[in-house]
Amino acid sequence: MKIIVLNGNPDNKNIKFDNYLTELANDLQKKNHGTKIFTLRDMNINHCVGCFGCWVKTPGECVFKDDSAEICRSVVNADFVFFSSPIMMGFTSALLKKANEKLLPIFHPYFEFINAETRHIKRYKKYPPIGLLLENNERTDKEDIFIISEIYRREAMNFKSSFSFTRFTSDPITELAHEISRI
Amino acid sequence: MKLAVFNGSPREKTSNTTVLLDNFLNGYMTNDGNSYELGYLANEKEADKNIELFKEADRVLIAFPLYFDSMPANVKTFIESLEPLCLRSGNPGIGFIIQSGFPESDHSMYVESYLEKLAKRLGCKYSGTVIRGAFETIRVPFMIDNIFHKIFIAGGKITNMGRVGHFFNTEKLYKKIYRLGMTFGKTGEFDKKIVQQLAKPEKLSRFGSCLFRFVGKHLYWNILLKRNNAYDKRFDTPYADQ
């Protein structure tokens, strides 16, 4: 299994979060799952400017060259993508959202109507299931978790795959690694 | 009323959000004594100025396009920068406008829940969220006009069909947004009836979907693809390993 982790922790002083991901990746490697962590804050990723160039000028590729191309390539060829972020003001980080928006090239502009909703059609045959890893804080409640999870459930609908779960950095690493390997 | 308006579109001044806000603010300004200041959230150089605008306003309005089922990253960056102001006494009332390309407003359902919770988190009185779908289609009339212009005018025949695209009645939509701004300027609240009208349809009918897909494909994407000589490459899969 090829696993991609998008590390949306914007704060290099939050070592605990990064360590959790590193240990999780080590555990997954031991189970023979190739795991790659993209530490987004260290990458050169521009904001999506909504130009639609990746749909109507250079279909499938962003017209602005940056490190997001590498993420796009990894995501379309992965078996599982783990979106991870500390919760900040009740949502995942702006950093994770920025990287998320730069996935636009892997989708197609044309529309389809599924589950009574307009959505964009696939560009690739298959997209991986996704999961969400959050770091809680004392200002977060159940309602916040529900809202974030529902929005990422919609992200899985963009992927036309499935939403596996929302997990927390307070969960035991071995259990989580086990869960991921069963996807 | 002193209003701080934040344009959250990554397209900044040339955005559909700008068109929407222009109409809203024209209505808002018909009330004597109203003023507003405008901040662009995609402009990182203005980050500090935007926090000051938030602090000094009686009311705040944040408008943005729906990007991947929520606010664009630059809007989230702004929200994160407001964290020190959570529950500060004297925080302004806050309202939101979301416009999306998808025709159904249901796409914005969960981000609306998020925004309502955000108002609570900041300790701001919540004025509500206006949601309008299919907003990218305001660009369609100009594209159709261009085609007709090419066929009838550039082809040597002088016709008055240059504005055929305006059969798409964007003016009616703009008037509604103007009236929304007008009542907001008077009461500081969104007119519930107009909000309901703008949010329609929450879900699309099968017929509506066929129409939207046709217009989207043939009168928008394909025109742009052909204009850029990219039509033949429209199904390219540059990142497929196999």
ipTM for the predicted complex: 0.97
Measured between beta carbons, which residues in chain A are less than 8 angstroms from residue B112?
Answer: none
Average pLDDT estimate for B72-90 = 97
What is the pLDDT averaged over residues A156-183? 97
Q: Residue B118: which of A58, A89, A158 has the nearest Cβ? A: A89
pLDDT (mean) for B16-24: 95
Statement to judge: residues B102 and B175 lie in one domain: yes
Only one residue has tokens 């987004």, namely A40
Q: Kindly report the pTM of this predicted structure.
A: 0.95
Contact B240, A126 (CB under 8 A): no
What is the arithmetic mean of pLDDT over A149-169? 97
Residues A105-152: tens digit of each pLDDT: 999 999 999 988 999 999 999 999 999 999 999 999 999 999 999 999
Q: For residue B215, give its domain range.
A: 138-167+205-230
pLDDT score of A19: 98
| pLDDT higher than 80, residue B167 | no
Boundaries of every domain in chain A: 2-181
Do B90 and B129 belong together in one domain?
Answer: yes
For chain A, what is the HEC assignment? CEEEEEECCCCCCCHHHHHHHHHHHHHHHHCCCEEEEEEHHHCCCCCCCCCCHHHHCCCCCCCCCCCHHHHHHHHHCCCEEEEEEECECCECCHHHHHHHHCCHHHEEEEEEEECCEEEEEECCCCCCCEEEEEECCCCCCHHHHHHHHHHHHHHHHHHCCCEEEEEECCCCHHHHHHHHHCC
Residue of A nearest to B105 (CA): A117
Residue B185 CB contacts under 8 Å (≥ 6 apart), including other chains? B1, B27, B28, B29, B30, B31, B34
Minimal Cα distance from B106: which residue of A?
A117
Q: Which of B68, B206, B228 sits opposite A56 (nearest CB)?
A: B228
Residue B161 tokens read as 């069909």
Report the pLDDT value the prediction gives residue B163, as an integer from 0 to 100.
57
Q: In the sheet where A130-135 sits, what is the strand order?
A: A34-39, A2-7, A80-86, A130-135, A163-168
Indicate the DSSP class of residue B92.
P
Who among B80, B117, B204 is closest to A94 (CB)?
Answer: B80
Calpha distance B117→B111 (Å, rounded): 10
DSSP state of B127: E
Give the residue with greater pLDDT, B240 vs B219.
B240
Tell me which residue has tokens 């050169």.
A44
HSE-CB at A128 with a 13 A cutoff on CA atoms is 21
**Beta-bridge mates of residue B91:** none
Q: Which of A59, A116, A150 sits opposite B230 (nearest CB)?
A: A59
Query: According to the model, what pLDDT value does residue B157 have?
Result: 54
Same-domain status, B151 and B59: no
Average pLDDT, chain B: 91
Q: Are residues B24 and B105 in the same domain?
A: yes
Q: Is the pLDDT assigned to residue B152 strictly greater than 80?
A: no
Q: What digits encode the pLDDT tens for the residues B184-227?
A: 999 999 999 999 999 999 999 988 899 899 989 998 999 999 99
- For testing contact with chain B, the best of A132, A147, A166 (most B CBs within 10 A): A147
Residues B101, B157 share a domain? no
pLDDT at position B141 is 80
Tell me if B215 is assigned to some domain: yes
B237 within domain boundaries: no
pLDDT at B107 over 90: yes
What does residue B197 show for φ and ψ, rounded to 5 degrees? -65, -45
Distance from the Cα of B1 to chain A's closest Cα (Å) equals 28
How many structural domains is chain B composed of? Answer: 2
Residue B45 lies in a domain: yes
Pick the range with the lowest mean pLDDT from A77-81, B89-93, B169-173, B184-188.
B169-173
> Residue B95 in contact with residue B59, Cβ under 8 Å?
yes
Looking at the fold, whether B89 and B163 belong to one and the same domain comes out as no
- Asked whether the beta carbons of residue B76 and residue A93 sit closer than 8 angstroms, the reply is yes
Contact between B117 and A90 using a beta-carbon 8 Å cutoff: yes
Which of A91, A98, A118 has its CB closest to that of B209?
A118
- Contact by Cβ (8 Å): B86, A59: no
Asked if pLDDT for residue B242 goes beyond 70, the answer is no
Nearest Cα of chain B lies from the Cα of A75 at a distance, in angstroms, of 9
Pair B91, B16 in one domain: yes
- Say whether both B114 and B219 belong to one domain: no
Do B177 and B219 belong together in one domain?
Answer: no
Q: Where does the pLDDT of residue B140 fall: very low under 50, low under 70, confident under 90, or very high at 90 and above? A: confident
Tokens 């899985």, residue? A156
Residues of B in contact with A107 (CB under 8 A): none
The one-letter amino acid at B106: D
Q: Which residues of B touch A110 (CB under 8 A)?
A: 213, 216-217, 221
Q: What is the pLDDT of residue B88?
A: 97
pLDDT of residue A181: 94
pLDDT tens track for A7-65: 999 999 999 999 999 999 999 999 999 999 999 999 999 999 999 999 999 999 999 99
Indicate if B45 and B123 belong to the same structural domain: yes
The model's confidence at residue B238, banded by pLDDT at 50, 70 and 90, is: very high
Q: What residues of chain B lie within 8 A of the CB of A94, using their CB? A: 73-74, 76-77, 79-80
**Residue B154: which pLDDT band, with cuts at 50, 70 and 90?**
low
Minimal Cα–Cα distance from A46 to chain B, Å? 11
Residue B77, in any domain of the structure: yes
Percent of chain A with pLDDT over 70: 100
Which fold is adopted by the domain A2-181? Rossmann fold (3.40.50)
Quickly state the pLDDT bin for B172 (edges 50, 70, 90): confident
Alpha-carbon distance of A45 to A6, in angstroms, equals 13
Q: What is the CATH number of the domain that holds B173?
A: 3.40.50.360
One domain for residues B125 and B100: yes
| B216 and B153 in a common domain | yes
In a domain, B242, yes or no: no
